Structure 1
Amino acid sequence: MKIIISRKGFDSGYGGYPSPILPDGRMVSFPIPDIDKSISYKDLHFDDRYNYMELMKSLFGDTLKHEGYGKVLVDDIGCHLDPDIQSTAYERNKDWRGLFGQAGIAQKHLKNQDVSVGDIFLFFGWFRQTELVNGRIIYDKKDKKGKHVIYGYMEVGEIHQVNKLDTDEWMHYHPHVKRGKGATDNDVIYVAKDKLSVDSSLDGYGTLKYCDAVTLTKDGFSKSRWNLPDIFKHTSISYHSENSWKDNYFQSAAKGQEFVLESTVEIKNWLEKLFKQAK
């Protein structure tokens, strides 16, 4: 089984702000902006309480960054809902399961790494603690810069080339599937398993709750300096080398969306503990 540590959601170029760790420990990953407006931030909900657009405006105001376009209004931009692993985020068909699309160089990398059915994506992003003040969610001033955190997961159940996909209606909303027959040969949609193989009590996709187990950034360090357990030294991690291991931290690569590694017995045990603590 391979594990893919996958960078997703807002960053310094797309969005420009960290996604929030809510006061109750749940995490909301803001999908990156998209000039396609078929899905807007106001269409998305974390649960009955939190609308994405309202939450964004409460945290940082009316504008966000979109690389190549500069600052854009939250109301005037669509969003790229991918990966789509949170069941309450959008209107769902009864057949819905978690979905993740990839294309271009990033998908070529996944193919070259032989990512296949049964492998597990761990999605991480830039997050910052928040607090509730006078009925409003704001960034916690004590957490000034934020950190890299694993916020969600998906075990691969099916892999489809988008331009050869004959699919049920339930997938058609997804930004990669919408490309249809016009997609390149290197545009792929990953469909989640129903249940997680390392813990069959859990769905094969979902979001995680904030805790030490899902925190990648080492305390007191910049967000790209990680506190990976020593067990990861015994397997290769794509886009990284032995030089990535420093005296007291692991330097994660600035480039590359997916970091692929072959799990060992120790890493599988680590993964099982992560799910038990973060779900």
Structure 2
Amino acid sequence: MKLILSRKGFDSSAGGCPNPIFPDGSMLALPIPDSKSRIAYRDLTHQFNDGSSVSYADLVGQLTKGKIKPSSGAHLDPDMLTSAYVRDPQWRPVLGQTGAAQGHLAKQSVGAGDLFLYFGLFRDVELYKAGRKKPIWRFVPGSKPKHLLWGWMEVGERLTIDEEDFSDSCFSDRHWLKYHLHMHGQPDPNNTLYVSSENLSFAPALNGAGVFRGVSEALVLTHPQSLKPSFWQLPEWFYPHQAHPSHKYDQREPLSYHHKLDRWFAPSNGYCQLQSAARGQEFVLDLDQYPEAKPWLVELIQLNS
């Protein structure tokens, strides 16, 4: 089984700002702009924990100070929230990937039974001048951006689009995928869709995919004393070198893109530190070498969903 730490949502380059952490503690990974997408920000709705909602168009327009328009195309991928968009009854969470990022996933043999753990750059937001007829969302002055885990998805099936016939006569039970933006691009042998499983294979009582209900200490990747979001504090079992006599491996294969020893800092007080890679979307870990991962994942999902 592979664990993929998958960077998704707005950041300083894609979107131009962090994703929002709302006053109720919930968070939203905003889909990055995509001029070729048939889905616009005005077509998407975010539902808060209390049942109220806000248009993605208002959020991105206000948080980017008008740089992104309501009519701008939204790269709704990964597509994880049922309430965000009009749904076919057969819809399931799905991730599309292509290009170099998919090349890396293919090289790591990522497929059915592997689990994506999504993370992104987040910052606290608030309603500014709430007494106005239409208050605006803004980042809380003085708040700092940080990397957070925001959702998970176990792969139920992997579909290579160029090898599939998605004509109406052959679409069968996958007709609901026709809305997805990876179905509307140019031919690409790397174009791949990962469709979620119904339940976790290693914990069948838990959903195969979902988003975390709100920020908790366990979801924060950024070290609490770091001024840089990319300097992480992780559970000590992530450390690729022998930290305990019980470990089977003297040297375990590290998280992909993180092979340099000087990125890692030895465990202390139950944690290790990592200077995470600034580039790359998909960081893959072989859990056959990290048996501590599955109980950690079960607890993480149970306590935060």
Which amino acid counterpart does residue 233 of structure 2 have in structure 1? Answer: N
Which amino acid counterpart does residue 51 of structure 1 have in structure 2? Answer: S
Deviation at 1:240, TM superposition (A): 0.5
Report the structure number with the largest CA radius of gyration.
2
Q: Which runs of 5+ in 1 are unaligned?
A: 64-72
Which amino acid counterpart does residue 82 of structure 1 have in structure 2? Answer: D
| 1:224 correspondence with 2:243 | no
Which amino acid counterpart does residue 253 of structure 1 have in structure 2? Answer: A
- 2-structure distance, mates of 1:5, 1:78: 26
- 2-structure distance, mates of 1:230, 1:172: 42
Deviation at 1:136, TM superposition (A): 4.5
Do the aligned residues in 1 keep the contact of 2:9 with 2:30 (CA within 8 Å)? yes
Do the aligned residues in 2 keep the contact of 1:19 with 1:30 (CA within 8 Å)? yes
Q: Deviations over 1:142-172 (max 9, x none)?
A: 41x3101111111000001112223432101
* Greater shift in the superposed pair: 95-104 or 36-45: 36-45
SS at match of 1:14: coil
SS at match of 1:270: helix
Which amino acid counterpart does residue 150 of structure 2 have in structure 1? Answer: Y
Q: Which runs of 5+ in 2 are unaligned?
A: 241-251, 267-271
* Greater shift in the superposed pair: 170-179 or 119-128: 170-179
Partner of 1:178: 184
Which amino acid counterpart does residue 196 of structure 1 have in structure 2? Answer: L
Partner of 1:210: 215
What TM-score comes out, normalization by structure 2 length? 0.83
- 1-structure distance, mates of 2:203, 2:23: 27
Do the aligned residues in 1 keep the contact of 2:41 with 2:71 (CA within 8 Å)? no
* Greater shift in the superposed pair: 161-170 or 237-246: 161-170
Partner of 2:79: 84
Which amino acid counterpart does residue 274 of structure 2 have in structure 1? Answer: F
Q: Deviations over 1:32-58 (max 9, x none)?
A: 101124101111112251211112234
| 1:162 correspondence with 2:164 | no
Partner of 2:57: 53
Partner of 2:121: 126
After TM superposition, which residue ranges in structure 1, 4 or more long, deviate above 4 angstroms? Answer: none
SS at match of 1:74: coil
How many residue pairs get aligned? The number is 267
Partner of 2:256: 238
Deviation at 1:131, TM superposition (A): 2.8
Partner of 1:138: 138
SS at match of 2:85: coil
Deviation at 1:104, TM superposition (A): 1.2
Which amino acid counterpart does residue 226 of structure 1 have in structure 2? Answer: W
Q: Deviations over 1:81-136 (max 9, x none)?
A: 10001111111000000110111111111011111111000111110112344154
CA RMSD, 1 decimal: 1.7
What TM-score comes out, normalization by structure 1 length? 0.90
Do the aligned residues in 2 keep the contact of 1:36 with 1:77 (CA within 8 Å)? no
Partner of 1:274: 300
Do the aligned residues in 2 keep the contact of 1:120 with 1:154 (CA within 8 Å)? yes
Partner of 2:23: 23
Partner of 2:39: 39
SS at match of 1:9: coil
Do the aligned residues in 2 keep the contact of 1:27 with 1:207 (CA within 8 Å)? no
* Greater shift in the superposed pair: 96-105 or 42-51: 42-51
SS at match of 2:53: coil
Do the aligned residues in 1 keep the contact of 2:37 with 2:181 (CA within 8 Å)? no
